[in-house]
């Protein structure tokens, strides 16, 4: 018999967005928070740079808005940008109230140290050394663990959303919860709630090289699409320009804050190259820096380029970047004495499940927040350190909206997950092989530089993979690996189809067939929700 859990609010994802929402709702509702790995594991934990917020008197809200719009390549929703920027300070102050310790200018001052990152015209990134995400995530998680109304479920992955349209055959569609796999017990469960929130993060693992943790497989985006939500702008995948290049480093991120503190990008012979690509040089928007590095690597046939901050003192480096310094040293690179070998890697999903400014999706009772959502904040390219800010602002907005929702009575005839017609898989080699093939052709054909031919090749290969995945899914017991592979294949389809729609180069989408930006196509790429089968 399938276990059934009943809650007032179901949050799928335990990163900054999910935990912020849980804490803001917990005094008024019984909240379940699901995480498919350890509770703290996710992209939030590894965010190094910080949070964008106007605190300097020389800065202004309008400047932050203008910088975000400029980085977004003409596709940001200006109302959303303004809303986010105007709520930044109160969001950061809330984090401070929760106990997050941000770096100060020195031990004797109340002033917080602000750094500058790519696309920003001022120092406005508040941070906790070079491990802001860890400081935020661990603080919020400790608060959530201590709250009696929050139930935490590690090692639970969503299978599919439960919707009235599909599972109760009603005309009006609404979300009633989610079928979930308890990974440790290998047991499907049913989680029912009048409000469900997708906060599963992005989809960087669809690519061979990524700065994202292994859990970033686009689960919320894929589940939302299969349930009938529109998906927007999935062609805009941000590739972080600087990840540590080392065979055992697993694409460890080298924060953009290094470039904010004067680090320069160089070729193997020591030649600096970014000034030739953009007036802001190393502080240009990430898409420009990533393409410049990709261009130089391909032009010279080199495996990496180098990021050099060795002109700064060792004391400065170990104080401002202790985590990065220790990690590089572990791999034999002393960044106080020599440049760091770096390569671009998939980093952030700018598109996602379409929402309004309260986190509401196309389906009643279903919300999406954080990297899973497309709010309109990022447009064609996310500006550095606006991501954690988006998590905080929209988690708060969603909480306010959910609290104002009318109470509903949950139906009592929701079916349990049915495994009666499937059997255990005899071997998992098909899953691991398809996983590797998918990530490799996405990197080769749908990466930093694209073309129509490459995209069509990717689409053909994906079609064959999806047939195999669907056959395997329909015949065998589900597993974590199978669910992630299925979700990655859906995300890959959304990225490819969105990229084929866009007949121009804009922001993070660069295609050799349409290298110029066209005002005629200055609109979002929208894919309708998948029809239930």
pLDDT per residue as tens digits for the range 248-283 = 877 788 988 899 899 999 999 999 999 999 999 998
> Is residue 147 domain-shared with residue 293, that is, in the same domain?
no
> Is residue 357 domain-shared with residue 298, that is, in the same domain?
no
For residue 417, being part of any structural domain is answered with no
**Residue where a domain stops, chosen among 388, 403, 418:** 403
Q: State the Cα–Cα distance between residues 238 and 203, nearest whole angstrom.
A: 11
Options 286, 291, 382, 450, the catalytic residue: 286
Taking only the tens of pLDDT, the chain with its 533 residues reads 578 999 999 999 999 999 999 999 999 999 999 999 988 787 777 777 799 999 999 999 999 999 999 999 999 999 999 999 999 999 999 999 999 999 888 755 678 999 888 789 999 999 998 788 899 999 999 999 999 999 999 999 999 999 988 777 777 889 999 999 999 999 999 999 999 999 999 999 999 888 888 899 999 999 999 999 999 999 999 998 899 998 887 778 898 889 989 999 999 999 999 999 999 999 887 788 988 998 898 889 888 999 999 999 999 999 989 989 999 999 999 999 999 999 999 999 999 999 999 999 999 999 999 999 999 999 999 998 999 999 999 999 999 999 999 988 888 888 888 776 777 776 677 788 899 999 999 988 999 999 999 999 999 999 999 999 998 888 888 999 999 999 999 999 999 999 999 999 999 999 999 999 998 777 999 999 987 66
Which pLDDT score, from 0 to 100, does residue 202 have? 95
Copy the structure tokens of residue 15. Answer: 């990163």
Characterize the bridge pairing of strands 340-349 and 305-308.
Answer: antiparallel
Q: State the Cα–Cα distance between residues 26 and 19, nearest whole angstrom.
A: 10
SS (H, E, C) 298-314: HHHCCCCEEEECCCCCH
The SS3 call for residue 159 is strand
> Is residue 83 domain-shared with residue 229, that is, in the same domain?
yes
> Is residue 99 domain-shared with residue 162, that is, in the same domain?
yes
For residue 527, being part of any structural domain is answered with no
> Is residue 224 domain-shared with residue 193, that is, in the same domain?
yes
> Is residue 336 domain-shared with residue 372, that is, in the same domain?
no
For residue 421, being part of any structural domain is answered with no
> Is residue 79 domain-shared with residue 157, that is, in the same domain?
yes
> Is residue 480 domain-shared with residue 334, that is, in the same domain?
no
514: left (phi over 0), alpha (psi -120 to 50) or beta: beta
Bridge partners for 205 per DSSP: none
Number of domains in the chain: 3
List the one residue out of 434, 431, 525, 520 whose CA is nearest residue 475: 431
> Is residue 319 domain-shared with residue 338, that is, in the same domain?
yes
CATH number assigned to the domain comprising residue 139: 3.50.50.60
Which pLDDT score, from 0 to 100, does residue 96 have? 95
Residues 223, 486: contact at Cβ < 8 Å? no
Q: State the Cα–Cα distance between residues 125 and 292, nearest whole angstrom.
A: 24
> Is residue 99 domain-shared with residue 215, that is, in the same domain?
yes
CA 147 to chain centre: 26
Helix (H), strand (E) counts: the chain:
16, 20
Q: Is 286 part of the annotated catalytic residue set? A: yes
The SS3 call for residue 441 is helix
For residue 26, being part of any structural domain is answered with yes
For residue 62, being part of any structural domain is answered with yes
Which pLDDT score, from 0 to 100, does residue 426 have? 67
Classify residue 249 as exposed, middle or buried by CB count within 10 Å of its CB (0-12, 13-18, 19+).
middle
Q: State the Cα–Cα distance between residues 245 and 343, nearest whole angstrom.
A: 6
> Is residue 201 domain-shared with residue 77, that is, in the same domain?
yes
> Domain range for residue 120?
3-235+350-403
CATH number assigned to the domain comprising residue 474: 1.20.58.100
Which pLDDT score, from 0 to 100, does residue 133 have? 87
Residue with tokens 């469960």: 189
DSSP code for 346:
E
Question: Measured between alpha carbons, how far is residue 316 from residues 50, 93, 127, 326 in Å?
Answer: 18, 27, 15, 14
For residue 366, being part of any structural domain is answered with yes
For residue 531, being part of any structural domain is answered with no
Which pLDDT score, from 0 to 100, does residue 211 have? 86
The SS3 call for residue 95 is helix
Q: State the Cα–Cα distance between residues 435 and 427, nearest whole angstrom.
A: 15
Q: State the Cα–Cα distance between residues 509 and 487, nearest whole angstrom.
A: 22
Q: State the Cα–Cα distance between residues 498 and 271, nearest whole angstrom.
A: 37
Rounded CA Rg of the chain: 22
Residue with tokens 């030739």: 276
Which pLDDT score, from 0 to 100, does residue 2 have? 75
CATH number assigned to the domain comprising residue 289: 3.90.700.10
Bridge partners for 238 per DSSP: 348
**Residue where a domain stops, chosen among 331, 346, 361:** 346
Q: State the Cα–Cα distance between residues 459 and 376, nearest whole angstrom.
A: 27
For residue 364, being part of any structural domain is answered with yes
**Crossing angle of helices 78-86/387-403, nearest 10°?**
90
Residue with tokens 């203008």: 66
> Is residue 361 domain-shared with residue 218, that is, in the same domain?
yes
């Amino acid at each position: 018999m399938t276990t059934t859990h009943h809650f007032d609010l179901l949050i799928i994802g335990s990163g900054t967005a999910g935990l912020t929402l849980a804490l803001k709702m917990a005094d008024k509702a019984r909240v379940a928070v699901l995480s498919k790995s350890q509770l703290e594991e996710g992209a939030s934990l590894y965010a190094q740079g910080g949070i964008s917020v106007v605190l300097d008197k020389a800065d202004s809200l309008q400047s932050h808005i203008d910088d975000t719009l400029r980085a977004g390549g003409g596709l940001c929703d200006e109302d959303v940008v303004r809303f986010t920027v105007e709520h930044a300070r109160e969001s950061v102050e809330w984090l401070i109230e929760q106990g997050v310790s941000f770096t100060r200018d020195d031990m004797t001052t109340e002033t917080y140290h602000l750094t500058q990152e790519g696309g920003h015209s001022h120092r406005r990134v508040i941070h906790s050394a070079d491990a802001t995400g860890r400081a935020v995530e661990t603080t919020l998680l400790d608060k959530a663990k201590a709250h009696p109304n929050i139930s935490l479920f590690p090692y639970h992955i969503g299978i599919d959303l439960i919707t009235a349209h599909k599972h109760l055959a009603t005309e009006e569609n609404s979300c009633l919860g989610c079928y979930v796999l308890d990974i440790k017990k290998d047991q499907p469960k049913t989680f029912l709630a009048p409000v469900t929130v997708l906060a599963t993060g992005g989809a960087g693992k669809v690519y061979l090289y990524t700065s994202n943790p292994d859990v970033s497989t686009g689960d919320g985006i894929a589940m939302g699409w299969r349930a009938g939500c529109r998906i927007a702008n999935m062609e805009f995948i941000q590739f972080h320009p600087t990840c540590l290049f080392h065979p055992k480093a697993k694409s460890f991120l080298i924060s953009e804050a290094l470039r904010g503190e004067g680090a320069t990008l160089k070729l193997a012979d020591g030649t600096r190259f970014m000034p030739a690509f953009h007036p802001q040089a190393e502080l240009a928007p990430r898409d420009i820096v990533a393409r410049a590095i990709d261009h130089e690597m391909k032009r010279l046939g080199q495996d990496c380029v180098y990021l050099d901050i060795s002109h700064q003192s060792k004391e400065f480096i170990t104080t401002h970047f202790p985590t990065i310094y220790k990690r590089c040293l572990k791999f034999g690179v002393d960044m106080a004495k020599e440049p760091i070998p770096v390569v671009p890697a998939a980093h952030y999903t700018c598109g996602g499940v379409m929402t309004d400014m309260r986190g509401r999706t196309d389906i009643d009772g279903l919300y999406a927040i954080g990297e899973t959502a497309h709010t309109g904040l990022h447009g064609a390219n996310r500006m550095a350190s606006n991501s954690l800010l988006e998590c905080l602002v929209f988690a708060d907005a969603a909480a306010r909206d959910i609290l104002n929702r009318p109470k509903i009575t949950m139906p009592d005839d929701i079916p349990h997950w049915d495994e009666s017609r499937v059997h255990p898989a005899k071997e998992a080699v098909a899953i691991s092989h398809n996983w590797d093939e998918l990530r490799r052709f996405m990197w080769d054909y749908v990466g930093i530089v694209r073309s129509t031919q490459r995209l069509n090749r990717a689409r053909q290969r994906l079609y064959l993979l999806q047939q195999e995945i669907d056959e395997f899914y329909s015949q065998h017991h589900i597993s974590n690996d199978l669910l992630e592979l299925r979700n990655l294949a859906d995300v890959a389809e959304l990225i490819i189809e969105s990229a084929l729609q866009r007949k121009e180069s804009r922001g993070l989408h660069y295609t050799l067939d349409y290298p110029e930006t066209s005002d005629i196509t200055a609109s979002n790429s929208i894919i309708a929700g998948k029809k239930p089968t």
